[in-house]
Amino acid sequence: MKERIIKEAFNLFWRYGIKSVTMDDIAKELGISKRTIYQHYPDKDAIVILAVQQELEVQKCQMEKMDEDRLNPIEQMIQAADYMRISLAHMNPVLFNDLKKYHPMAWDLFHKYKHQYVLKSIRENLNEGIRMGLYRKSIDIDMLSLLRIEQVEMAFDPTIFPADRFNMMNVQMEFVHHFLRGILTEPGFEYYTKYSEESATQANTHEK
> Which of 42, 51, 57, 55 has its CA nearest to residue 9?
51
What confidence score (pLDDT) does residue 205 get?
56
Instruction: Write the Ramachandran bin of 140: left for phi over 0, alpha for psi from -120 to 50, otherwise beta.
Output: beta
- Mean pLDDT for each 10-residue chunk of the chain (208 residues)? 94 95 96 96 97 91 75 90 78 87 95 90 96 98 95 86 86 93 97 89 57
184 by DSSP, 3-state: which? strand
- Say if CB 5 and CB 42 are below 8 A apart: no
Angle at the Cα of 158 (from 97 to 26), degrees rounded to 5?
40
Q: What is the pLDDT of residues 157-178, one digit of tens each?
A: 888 988 889 888 889 889 999 9
How far is residue 181's CA from residue 30's CA, in Å, rounded to a whole number?
47
52 by DSSP, 3-state: which? helix
> Which of 54, 63, 69 has its CA nearest to residue 117?
63
How far is residue 127's CA from residue 50's CA, in Å, rounded to a whole number?
34
What confidence score (pLDDT) does residue 202 get?
66
Domain boundaries, the chain: 53-207
| Global confidence as pTM | 0.84
- Say if CB 110 and CB 56 are below 8 A apart: yes
Was domain 53-207 assigned CATH 1.10.357.10?
yes
